[in-house]
Structure 1
């Protein structure tokens, strides 16, 4: 017999979460994880029943009042979870591997028209891909699976068998979920796409074209810098051309492999295409060469299923009015967590941001958002966002080192990559997009306008070739409006002191 809340009479530490006070009891997913010993990454927020008659949050706990306390039964905690926490496919999938089908059948037969029992019925059959011995429902209003007040829903498809509207934002093989938070609702409410398109519409086409060319090159270079690489200019330009075509071709596994070929021009030292072995991100011990993983990739035998699921989910949500930034989050972060290639995953991951925003028409065609450049400015936050997914999952992956100092994954891990909460990643990416729309793009356009004014002044003041004028302005920009001693004695030795002074004063007047 499963006993829930056996520790409710004393302070409880739950999977590294802060201790609950004496008298508090677990509720919903926390109770289910504890009682059934589920081996699953713990949700970002958990629920408990407190002793006071007011709801409040304490660190990562949502504390409910005694009147919210569910029955200490499987069904009681499942109802509480669906009602107050939403759908957590990772926890439910792990739970359904533990309990017997008859336990769910009893719940459904006890409340055949209950909205929560029908949701559980659908979820059991959807996750397990097997039918229970229960006749189709004939009464009861159709109920949505995802509560749109708690989580972002996908397009709704009716399941007549359960009289449930399946509005999960994904497929069985890949379905991350995103919780509705104040931060995300605020960002969506700002209608950043409309702001970007409006600002772009007010910019002269020639100016916009120059800004786009600069930002494209800047983004390509930043994507390599994030990976700790400093490739020659031709490779940066080559990847930039690939980014400029984002959203123009249909996404597929072969398209992803094509992108890898562009990223990794010299593939003599890697096996191109989907991995045939396990993989990890991290370091090796200096003395032994032992792997020291920060992230362990999906198993090679699961890649085809996961990537097909990822692409199917993308196509499903593209048909819907699912928010473009949230969709980009699910696709791009889902890809990099799966990590299907030996090399090139990070740059393709950031390419996928461009792909979604371009295909969904988030901004005007021809303009590429400098996503990687903004991420580079937020590199520590970016690393923490990746670690937020990776670190908790290391505890659930059994592995051993191979002779090649790689990892060999020993247990089933596919569910770690197809069912996860992408809220943290969505908040990070939305902040990057917000910064791009409100700061990066306007600043680049403003810079070019000022550049043109200074450029015209210099040409009218001194007869100087275009290339030299451009070099002079770049030197001034790099040195806070002052021409360095080295530049004044080499490239611009023919300028007089009074001419340099006049140009510097004009720079200060224009750029401030």
Structure 2
């Protein structure tokens, strides 16, 4: 067998974990290097096949930190085996990391023949991962600098894409853009952003909100700026505010198992099963603590992605989790003080336009997690659920794709959605002003007709012409269309020039 490191541990100990992105394998190469999606290892650099501690230390050195596998593998390696290695290398960096984690996961103290010397070492390499200021363990001189705690931790790799998005500084650009708008335009643009964020957050859930529902959700979004700490009663209040059916309103985090389904009959239709209620409650306490502290300790956009997706993967309510998870993006950014003057990045609008990518990002966790559940269909709407995996798959998760997606949608919300909102308002003002100079039209009628014409690609529908036939002259309808289409055509011709100019 040619498996090395984490892949060897997962196979030998039958550990519950998602598919490894870069499994290590023995190959006819001269040095350890990545080829495609494999970490290739020369035969002479691989530990002996049955040396599990050797494979674990190899993984720590060459493959990074996978807490899901480490939490399951370390308790299965005898303390005596680890202690024997300590005698030979008491200050070994990767051995110290292994000892620190083994004690944290088992509560069993290892025998140290001599105290560890040397500088503190970070558990997560800051060059490879996004990290938080950590807690130092003086016994092993290891600093836990993960995003979370040893009970719940998300990992985010510093991929080139994420580094570039962070360097772009989306939040600072959004603030600058809004401050650059003419007086009064900022408030109007923000108001339209709130409206469209609400409509598209519901649309992602295949719902069309009533006027009352939309108004309540807009109030909810504005409430994010209050920076209220995450607590169970606050999240229950938010869940109740997003739900219209009183029977679906929660009184606390769920006390029963829930699941997501795609409409197919039986167990085959169950697409995701979140953690059982007890584990969910425990991990929600961890996630809320992280959501309250992380925005001031790491980049707010990274914190927002972790809190939002972490929430939806735990699914603490029987209904309303999707809308709340997207609300938590705004809440996290506001907790960090990153959005001023009521500013909102309409990320749900961007997500709706990139719905396929949003689904793929969710499925990168939900699909492999589903494989660890034995789901049996009992009768209509009734299932039995048996978890066959390890709780660590929910405790320790790779948030890299979730964070990248959140950053990409925030960038799009700034570059496309917010700019389109302001362009729409500028066009509206220009058309209204031009028509007013030529005709005397009641203000409210003109406002409605121009708004409808702009949203209908420069056409006033026959229904609208009939609706306003007794208060607006027939030639006004044609003039509104003419002015609007001329303006839209001019802007369409300018777009290629704008792109080539950047």
Q: Residue by residue, what CA displacement relative to the aligned partner does 1:70-118 show, whole Å, maximum 9, x if unpaired?
A: 5653343223322232111001112124332333333333311111111
Alpha-carbon separation, structure 2, partners of 1:261 and 1:337: 19
**Aligned partner (choices 102, 108, 118) of residue 140 of structure 1:** 118
Structure 1: stretches of 5+ with no match in the other structure? 1-5, 9-25
Alpha-carbon separation, structure 2, partners of 1:101 and 1:77: 16
Q: What secondary structure, in the 3-state scheme, does the structure 1 residue paired with 2:25 have?
A: strand
Aligned to 1:333: 309
Tell me if structure 2 keeps the 8 A contact 1:105–1:134. yes
Aligned to 1:360: 336
Aligned to 1:20: none
Given the two structures, how large is their TM-score scaled by the length of structure 1? 0.88
Given the two structures, how large is their TM-score scaled by the length of structure 2? 0.90
Aligned to 2:236: 257
Alpha-carbon separation, structure 2, partners of 1:179 and 1:454: 49
Aligned to 1:21: none
Alpha-carbon separation, structure 1, partners of 2:324 and 2:478: 47
Aligned to 1:87: 65
Aligned to 1:453: 430
Matched, 1:420 2:397: yes
Query: Aligned-pair distance for 1:316?
Result: 3.8
Structure 2: stretches of 5+ with no match in the other structure? 490-502
Matched, 1:241 2:219: yes
Q: What secondary structure, in the 3-state scheme, does the structure 2 residue paired with 1:301 have?
A: helix
Alpha-carbon separation, structure 2, partners of 1:434 and 1:215: 15
Alpha-carbon separation, structure 2, partners of 1:477 and 1:101: 71
Aligned to 1:157: 135
Q: What secondary structure, in the 3-state scheme, does the structure 1 residue paired with 2:340 have?
A: coil
Query: Within 5 Å, which residues of 2 pair with 1:26-425?
Result: 26-53=3-30, 57=34, 59-63=36-40, 69=46, 72=49, 73-134=51-112, 137-248=115-226, 249-268=228-247, 272-283=251-262, 285-286=264-265, 292-320=269-297, 322-401=298-377, 405-411=382-388, 413-425=390-402
Tell me if structure 1 keeps the 8 A contact 2:450–2:480. no
Aligned to 2:497: none
Q: What secondary structure, in the 3-state scheme, does the structure 2 residue paired with 1:246 have?
A: helix
Alpha-carbon separation, structure 2, partners of 1:292 and 1:58: 37
Judged with a 3 Å threshold, the aligned counterparts in structure 2 of structure 1 residues 153 and 311 are, in CA distance, closer, same or farther, namely: same
Tell me if structure 2 keeps the 8 A contact 1:41–1:393. yes
Judged with a 3 Å threshold, the aligned counterparts in structure 2 of structure 1 residues 135 and 247 are, in CA distance, closer, same or farther, namely: farther
Tell me if structure 1 keeps the 8 A contact 2:240–2:249. no
Q: Residue by residue, what CA displacement relative to the aligned partner does 1:285-306 show, whole Å, maximum 9, x if unpaired?
A: 54xx557311001101212211
Q: Which moved more, 1:466-475 or 1:82-91?
A: 466-475
Task: Let me know the Cα RMSD of the aligned residues.
Answer: 2.4
Alpha-carbon separation, structure 1, partners of 2:388 and 2:45: 38
